[in-house]
Structure 1
């Protein structure tokens, strides 16, 4: 009902419009008829014609041109009744049509714009509220839409992203193109290097698809799928929309399934045993390669083989297990069979067979796991041979060995034992061991046989004996049980290992240890050593003198803390032993990992009770490892640096006072900068000055010379500190034009012969003065310019300063590179004036090298190229905003570190030409 009512109201409105236009049109036609036909004169007031023409165009767009055509045709028809100026009426008719066309076109365009605006607003809201993460870029790669779903996925808010080209930060750790950027650039050649899976568009398509793993999207690794499409208007690209889908779980499931399938296939295909599927009729339907290798058939010939064809005739009766499995008499079977290979050779296998049934319990097929045991069979035959070989190994072993049974009878001895004992092997066998080789533990509880029979599994003893040369030789004697396969004890095997040389080495090592301990005890540096259980093992004499605590009360205890603190708490060596490095910041005001102490720790601070007074102590501790890499001890050294610390604190206080004085001097220097810029019709000025932490020498000024001339300069004194600052202050007073102050800078002395201002004369005068009067041999750079406000002619002289940059209204850029060396180098330097004609819209930027040479934390400079590019790219920004933005960009480039030089930028803009 509401829709019918709206249509009815719309029809009524259109009817009223039609009646109004029709009445106006009839009135105009009547006027033509009245004056031309009835009165016979060619005086027609065509001004009234524009009313229906304009109304028709406004209400019906270009369709309203029919009214203009009607009135124009009627006007032309009057020439059939009354001759007149045809050209004049043609011009009028043309004006009718032109006005109607313009009004109609403007009206339709306005309506279309409103519809387009509504559509755009609807599209934006649709994208913003979409559950699919989506963003939109304009043709300049700037983000125009970053919807809520995109915020949730990436963790980056729209207010940060919109208006920037930083959308890559949501997906990558360095700047690189997203899929939408490829669409904007129209280049898809590099897609393979960015996406593992991608789809290039057809020639008539603007769609791109890409997917890959990304290490950090929204704080974690994700598998992302990107789709992007171009949005065009009249064939022209106006935006690119890109949607994101998090397929991480799907991809992980897919990869897990693929891995599971692959593992299943590998399990069967690459199993170390043969696997075969056999039908209930006994025919092979599938087998892996190992099975085909076992029976010697090619893999393609194994399928359809009957099991009877490969089982030896001697084992055909064993096939009864088929029926036993089918009848559920057994669930599985395992047996050893002799197969016959394709070439007729026999092979022994061990086979485990099970019956696979479907969900209804019906038999499907047999699965058999087949292992080639031919080698095992051969190994059993080879055991006897192995025994012979082992016997040979026993006899030829370099260490003496013999075997004794439970009744102490010698069963066998090797050649080395025969030589050591001085007895023939044959004579030794059958003797009692305590007669053949008597020792101090024979017939005692220490006897190896008695201890083994009592349940010990390994016996080790020391034995000293003279060798065949009469030299004392030290052996380690080991005894181990010799048992039957069923575990019954047969006897023992006794082995003799000569450790004479090793014992000597141990004694030498012990001597070295005693030397090291004596060395530490007598060190002039206070030192103590803890074992792995935190017990004091060394507390040297220097440590006693420093702490006034004697070693006799500490050795073997954990009370070493008493030498430094009034309550029990860990020392640095305790933390090293425990690996408890997280507590170091709570225990030491200053701490570090010293490079000169591998795996060591350093701590320092004030301690009120060390040796009876407050001291500033350095502690260094390091672990001590044995040859196996096990921590056995920790050593800690102490240094009393109280006097040095007090001297440092005194120096720091003096430095603090000096820094305060430098800051006051810097404040005085900044007060000399221009507080108010001259107000000159047709010119715009802007400047930014950001001082460094060091007192530096940048200075600038802008001043009115006369009603037609503006002067300005920028300078940079070499170096930092008070000397550079004082020189910049002096130069500011010398260069500031006034009747009383300045060296060759008073308004009257700026004028050359012929009425022209000469900045070069000023530079020459300064150079003569500062190359002779000053003994510091420092120099400074200077750019001095005089701008004619009437014709915008800039006269300037440059003394080694950074060349100013001129940016034209249409984006052209050039540098004013003409100039001469810095002031203070050579006394006789001649400086020249240069002239450049500036145009409306031109901007001139003067800067110091602190802008272009500012380094980031990695030592990379901001660079002149980046500076010029920033001026070029942002030329549409106001000059005051641009100067501020440039300096802020440099500060962002520097980062958290302090600027090492002043940042100075002066901008002049030509607005109009009088």
Structure 2
């Protein structure tokens, strides 16, 4: 049921009792609720007690003239707008401007014409209705913003917890294998990201290390990293698609290129998502230093030799989840004692400075050379500092992730 509009309240301010009665009679016939005041101070008291919608005030009055009443009326605190009409015999432009500056909305020239008064009141009604609609819309907007703020706070809290859960996917950031060690870096650009790094043992003398970058950012990418972490789990080898149980219950690993092909099949036939990801998966022998890896759209891994020289390996390859039956080619390398392998995301090499220049492979090589003496987590921290210095910001626009494998000497059977 539509609510019945309440009649407007009009206050007439005039020291002439006759003028007040004439105006009151007309306004009453038109459905207005009318109050009267014989002076400016009396009118202000009435306004403080109960704010009128419309005020019609004479210009020339004892004690307080119309413009001064306008100024004091506008200075009062109100919840809604009050429309003010000045009655005047003045027609000079300067006097009219003076009244407008004082706070008047409109003017009526004495003697007052009934038709003109009705027209001025109609104009005031339109202004008041627009003001009321604006107030209602602002009230609705404020209520909506408050609801959105509540939802945002709840979402922000959930994302903080999601970040903790995503970081927990990388259970170990460092491990010493006796003769070699591995270090991990994972730093999302927002609450959650699409990068994932990790490693898992294959058997007593081999490990696998991987780096993944899921397309996009945010919750969808983070959920995909969680699923991929299950496919490459070190704590549940029976669920790890890279591993299989061989003779005598000893685990072995499928070649990295076959694992990439299987992940590609799963993405296109079972997961059925619009996302895809880049990947480096490396099978590393802790005794011989042999590395067999697949590079699927991820940046070229870097090998820093014991003498400091940096070389990049890999053949590029297609991302996982784009093309059915894509071929993934293996890449092999050998690490000698003192060498190290660094796998990193494009958030590292594509980190831009203020001029838009990217770090690129040359900058990555310089970074490794300049931090040649740093090892493990210390190198990861140094790399993060260098990227902040290069970009000029501490919060990166893309996820930063890396895997560092350092080969000091072959693993011994007793290790």
TM bucket by the smaller chain?
Answer: 0.5 to 0.7
Residue 557 of structure 1 aligns to a residue in which SS? helix
Shift of 1:691: 2.3
Kept in 2, the 8 Å contact 1:699–1:714? The answer is yes
What is residue 769 of structure 1 aligned with on the other side? Answer: 266
The CA RMSD over aligned residues, in Å, is 3.4
Asked whether 1:707 is paired with 2:201, we answer no
Is 1:550 the equivalent of 2:55?
yes
Whether the 8 Å CA contact 2:301–2:342 is kept in 1: the answer is yes
Return the index of the structure with the highest Cα Rg.
1
1:609 paired residue number:
79
CA distance in 2, matches of 1:761, 1:789: 21
Q: Does 1:834 align with 2:339?
A: no
Partner deviation per Cα, 1:460-496 (whole Å, 9 max, x = no partner) = xxxxxxxxxxxxxxxxxxxxxxxxxxxxxxxxxxxxx
Return the alpha-carbon distance in structure 2 between the equivalents of residues 727 and 666 of structure 1: 14
CA distance in 1, matches of 2:328, 2:299: 16
Distance apart, 1:679 and its partner CA: 2.4
Any conservation in 2 of the 1:819–1:832 contact (CA below 8 Å)? no
Counterparts of 1:689 and 1:803, CA distance in 2: 18
Assess if the C-alpha contact under 8 Å between 1:718 and 1:778 holds in 2.
yes
- What pairs with 1:310-709 in structure 2 (closer than 5 Å)? 548=53, 550=55, 552=57, 556-557=67-68, 559-560=70-71, 562-563=73-74, 566=77, 609-611=79-81, 640=135, 641-675=138-172, 677-709=174-206
How far residue 895 of structure 1 moved from its aligned partner, in angstroms, is: 4.7
Correspondence 1:164-183 to 2 at 5 A: none
Matched, 1:885 2:395: no
What secondary structure, in the 3-state scheme, does the structure 2 residue paired with 1:609 have? coil
Across the two proteins, how many residue pairs are aligned to each other? Answer: 305
For residue 548 of structure 1, report the CA deviation from its aligned partner: 3.3
1:365-409 deviation digits (Å, cap 9, x = unpaired): xxxxxxxxxxxxxxxxxxxxxxxxxxxxxxxxxxxxxxxxxxxxx
Cα deviation per residue 1:588-621 (whole Å; 9 max; x = unaligned)? xxxxxxxxxxxxxxxxxxxx73349xxxxxxxxx
Q: How far, CA to CA, are the matches of 1:697 and 1:764 in structure 2? A: 20
> Alpha-carbon deviation of 1:765?
0.6
Q: 1:720 to 1:739 in 2, by over 3 A?
A: closer
State how 1:35-46 maps to structure 2 within 5 Å. Answer: none
* Distance across 2 between alignment mates of 1:748 and 1:830: 25
**Quick one: distance in 1 between partners of 2:312 and 2:361?**
11
CA distance in 1, matches of 2:403, 2:303: 12
Counterpart for residue 780 of structure 1: 277
CA offset digits 1:703-743 (Å, max 9, x no partner): 22111111111101111122111110110110124665435
Measured at CA, do residues 738 and 654 of structure 1 come closer, stay the same or move farther in structure 2, by a change above 3 Å?
closer
Instruction: Tell me the equivalent position of 2:408.
Output: 911
When the two structures are superposed, what TM-score results if normalisation uses the length of structure 1? 0.31
CA distance in 1, matches of 2:153, 2:281: 38
Distance 1:547 1:857 in 2: 59
Partner of 2:113: none
CA contact (8 A) 2:183 2:405 kept: yes
The answer (yes or no) to whether the contact 1:738–1:747 under 8 Å persists in 2 is no
Q: Closer, same or farther in 2 for the Cα pair 1:897/1:840, shift >3 Å? A: closer
Q: Which runs of 5+ in 2 are unaligned?
A: 1-50, 60-65, 83-99, 106-126, 247-251
Q: Can you list the C-alpha shifts for 1:278-315, whole angstroms capped at 9, x where unaligned?
A: xxxxxxxxxxxxxxxxxxxxxxxxxxxxxxxxxxxxxx
Q: 1:859 to 1:662 in 2, by over 3 A?
A: farther
CA offset at residue 817 of structure 1?
A: 2.7
TM-score normalised per structure 2: 0.65
**Equivalent-residue separation in structure 1 for 2:362 and 2:139 (angstroms):** 53
What is the rounded CA distance, in whole Å, between the counterparts of 1:896 and 1:674 in structure 2?
A: 28
TM superposition shift of 1:836:
0.6
The higher-RCO structure (CA 8 Å, 6+ apart) is 2
Q: Deviations over 1:306-335 (max 9, x none)?
A: xxxxxxxxxxxxxxxxxxxxxxxxxxxxxx
- Of 886, 900, 903, 2:397 maps to 900
Q: Quick one: distance in 2 between partners of 1:688 and 1:634?
A: 67
